[in-house]
Structure 1
């Protein structure tokens, strides 16, 4: 019999969890098919599964896909609609075991194209030991004239980041993920835009980023990222995983990153900040609300898989409350409400229950087949903003023109 193949998002907690789940699944169900799990970086994962038709042609039985790609994958008929499987044999407490915001994006044209795997919206992660330190509080107030608290506005964010920036102590004010992979800088741009009351869409639901709030968003972001007195110098080469690791190793006072990288600080061996971390909502402009971004990972089954029933049986097993909790203790983020409110998990990760709050403010990216290409254009635009002196307004105008070419 052929091997059963799983395309895994490369991240050690995902890899270890999946191996443990597969082993347990095989023992429980007396399955002895050989499995091959291949960990792939974001770009390679997309190429392997969707661009090169790996899910369609049977190369992969199961793949981790994120919700940025699922619309595209469903349109390409790369991923299986799980509706009939779910109707016959639903996952445990489906759908009420999950928050509604983790069930929407995989619902496309009345089909269900995946089950929630890993989540954790964007948030502000900070070192509560630094923020609560009496001497730090006193020095900060002397310098800035207000109490030291996690920043509520972007102006405060810049001030606090510069206050905590101490290169000699290998501590930086904040850390970003500026590696151009079509994701992190796109998300950062969206968060800057939304927390200023801006939108990615016009009233006709078309993508429109050429407006004042977008100029403000890009201006602020290019300035903060290049602020050597506030930002970790490794940020330019960091993806979200590397930025998360730098924070866990105690190299930054603040980070804007996925919730998962906060919880990772409490469970991985490399962490030097266990018990010293907390999370809160993102800063925002004074007249506007905070926002978060919800992009989550799904378990999907390839339309070309010759083992679809086995794949679905494994998905049911991998999404039980126990499996979801295991992912969390390994350093990922469970998607079930039962995990968010689990007393044991909250003992280890005291802010775990705050996931519900983040989901209440979590926005999602536009669902359109062209989104992956739009994301690449925004990514290139933000990179140009960081690396050149070209005015933000010009960059936004050019990018908008290129976005419109995609739809013509």
Structure 2
């Protein structure tokens, strides 16, 4: 009987898919592997459902899967993913762990085990059109209208002013773009960033989730006003996930975006980009009492607990995470995780701000790694969605969501 195919569950995103295909082909050629492969790309909800909810990794249907660090504790608790420590001990990846920043090694370390290797990275940041900001005519006009110099926004009020200033629907240019599709991720991240940059926290002094407080109300009030501002925000935001928002920005349809570093990088490498050489990144704005913040959520290569191909899967993971492979992912439009890629001269010649990744990781925060986080994130996601599409007061939405979280826990 013929062996079954080697199966990889992929996060649906063209650069991931193209990079993985190239890496597998190179892997097969180098090691003379004679196993048919099946790669299937999934959107976020479907990827979680196929790999974790449906026990696809636990039962061995999937040999390798892209999982993000929001899910990894849940995957470990459900016995879905293999502990890589024994494999690493026998044959560690090249320059492991020193080849990676410590911030990309912590979240997959659970109860003494290692449950994945870094695949794709890129903390949240402010992405902006530097050509618009550097235009002298725009600078003069902005100062005449708002009474202060046009510069990268340091406060959320400045962010709002600048978004309104550059909002020009007749030219298919909008002030800002967000990802408001309810996928349990993007709006949760946006809410956290609004909260943190106002000095707030998701956790109380007992490290329990607590979002019903004044700073959270202010954060949600600003966010719902911003994304519903027809004179500032891209009208497609309601239906955009992070990929859609990133593509809209790359096509030159927005002046500002709050998104993953990878979407700034993508503007410099993909054929669809209309703004190559016109992009830069910066820290997020903040308000009094808060400070700028970034969010570090990253993607992992994981191996199915039930895979009959674990040795082959790990052999591929070692291949796919070596320096040349990490660089290839970056050149395809993803974000490599190795320090060597961040500092690579060729990469930085093509993406001039790429070296800033190292500094961004010094200030990046992470989401709480607690039981039921994916379910809590869904509740927060639905709360933010209700804020965006209804007039229910923010304090009511936060109170109801806090009650649901406490019931869940």
2 CA distance for matches of 1:58 and 1:104?
A: 26
The 3-state SS of whatever aligns with 1:49 is helix
2 CA distance for matches of 1:76 and 1:287?
A: 40
Match of 2:191 in 1: 189
1 CA distance for matches of 2:304 and 2:90?
A: 19
| Runs of 4+ with >2 A deviation | none
Q: How does 1:182-261 map to 2 (within 5 A)?
A: 182-261=184-263
Answering whether residue 179 of structure 2 is matched by residue 177 of structure 1, we say yes
The 3-state SS of whatever aligns with 1:279 is strand
Match of 2:287 in 1: 285
2 CA distance for matches of 1:316 and 1:332?
A: 18
Match of 1:404 in 2: 406
The 3-state SS of whatever aligns with 2:74 is helix
Consecutive unaligned residues in structure 2, runs of 5 or more: none
1:213-266 deviation per Cα after TM superposition (whole angstroms, max 9, x unaligned): 100100000000000000000000000000000000000001000000000000
Pick from 43, 51, 66: which aligns with 1:64? 66
2 CA distance for matches of 1:201 and 1:255?
A: 27
Alpha-carbon shift at residue 351 of structure 1 (Å): 0.3
Alpha-carbon shift at residue 289 of structure 1 (Å): 1.1
1 CA distance for matches of 2:180 and 2:150?
A: 27
1 CA distance for matches of 2:12 and 2:390?
A: 32
Match of 2:312 in 1: 310
Consecutive unaligned residues in structure 1, runs of 5 or more: none
Say whether the 8 Å CA contact 2:127–2:256 is kept in structure 1.
yes
2 CA distance for matches of 1:394 and 1:371?
A: 22
Pick from 385, 388, 391: which aligns with 2:390? 388
2 CA distance for matches of 1:145 and 1:286?
A: 21
1 CA distance for matches of 2:179 and 2:149?
A: 28
TM-score, length basis structure 1: 0.99
Match of 2:156 in 1: 154
Alpha-carbon shift at residue 356 of structure 1 (Å): 1.2
Aligned length: 407
2 CA distance for matches of 1:101 and 1:220?
A: 30
The 3-state SS of whatever aligns with 2:179 is coil
Alpha-carbon shift at residue 163 of structure 1 (Å): 0.2
Alpha-carbon shift at residue 271 of structure 1 (Å): 0.3
2 CA distance for matches of 1:27 and 1:217?
A: 52
Say whether the 8 Å CA contact 2:200–2:290 is kept in structure 1.
no
2 CA distance for matches of 1:287 and 1:191?
A: 14
1:138-173 deviation per Cα after TM superposition (whole angstroms, max 9, x unaligned): 001111111111100000000000000000000000
2 CA distance for matches of 1:323 and 1:191?
A: 32
Alpha-carbon shift at residue 2 of structure 1 (Å): 1.1
Match of 1:270 in 2: 272
Alpha-carbon shift at residue 360 of structure 1 (Å): 1.3
Say whether the 8 Å CA contact 2:125–2:294 is kept in structure 1.
yes
Match of 2:6 in 1: 4
The 3-state SS of whatever aligns with 1:68 is coil
2 CA distance for matches of 1:103 and 1:85?
A: 16
1 CA distance for matches of 2:388 and 2:248?
A: 21
Answering whether residue 95 of structure 2 is matched by residue 90 of structure 1, we say no
The 3-state SS of whatever aligns with 1:50 is helix
Match of 1:55 in 2: 57
Alpha-carbon shift at residue 300 of structure 1 (Å): 0.0
Let me know the Cα RMSD of the aligned residues.
Answer: 0.5
2 CA distance for matches of 1:129 and 1:252?
A: 12
